Each structure stands twice: as C-alpha cells, then as structure tokens.
Amino acid sequence: MIFWPHCAILACMKAPRSSFALHERQYKERGFTAQRRYPNESLLQFLAAHFFSRSPAGRMRTRILELGCGSGANLWMLAREGFDTYGVDASPTALRLCRKMLAAWKVSAHVSRADMRTQMFPGSSFDAIVDVVSIQHTTLSEHAKIYAAVFAISGAGAHPFVKHAQKC
C-alpha cells in the first residue's frame, strides 16, 4: 500500500461539480494559455529527490504517469529528461495540444484519453504517478475511485506526487 501524504489537504476542498466540460471548454477557447507552458516547480523538486540521479539507461526504464496531463506542460519535461513517460487526460482538446507541445520539444510520450476514476493501463505498473492540480477538480466521493485505480497500477516502491492548488 502506498501512503499519499498530500491527501490531508482534502479536508479544505469543496466538492466541485463535474469539471470535464469546463476544462474542455477552456482548452478549446484558450488553447495553450489554459495552462502554464513550463513544468511545475514542486514536481521538479520531487523528481530531483527521487529520480534525477538515475543514469540515462535507468531513466529509460523508469515509468512515470501523469494524471490530467492537460496540454503537456509537465509531460514534455519528463520525456526530455529521458523517462518512459505516459499521460492521460479526459479532454480531447487538451490531448491534441499536448501532442503539439511534445512535437515542439521534439520528444515523445504515450498520451491517451482516459478517465482517472477507472482502471488505466491494466496489468501495467509505474514507478511514479503524478498529479499536478488535477484530482482536486473531482468530487470528494470520486477521490476513492481515483486512488483505487492509481494503487492498482503503482509498482512496488512507487513514488506518488500530488499537488493541489494552495487556495481552498
């Protein structure tokens, strides 16, 4: 079992309505400006603490999944650093933008449309599963489904990373 220490922040969260339609509309209307273009700083610190010391060959064997990858602001960096990189998002528009972002940086990643609340990549396991301000946009009752799906694909000794917005 993996302990996600950042889950304590759930106490301050309001249960939102489904945010899929909102995010899809934002990506359609605003394109890349709907999200930042560069990686989250806290994610960089997490990666430095757990993975940056690995050799290039070790990084290629390190599987990292980003939940709610959006337009690829974190994904391109993970791929550029040499990790076996995966990203899922429910928004088709965000995924189109993500693929453009990856192409602009001349890197590749496994990008697919998926619902975080369901089993993603059955039979697979990941060394790290990261969430940068995505799970917080689901209802509190959906968190249990999401974490169950995440635990099912977390490899032995996997490192989770969860980042929520600082204002509640």
> At the topology level of CATH, where does 15-29+56-163 sit?
Rossmann fold (3.40.50)
The residue extents of the domains of the chain are 15-29+56-163
Could you tell me the pTM of the whole model? 0.82
SS3 content of the chain, % helix, strand, coil (to 5): 45, 20, 40
Residue 37, pLDDT above cutoff 60: yes
Is 71 within 8 Å of 39 (Cβ atoms)?
Answer: no
pLDDT tens digits along 42-72? 999 999 999 999 999 999 999 999 998 999 9
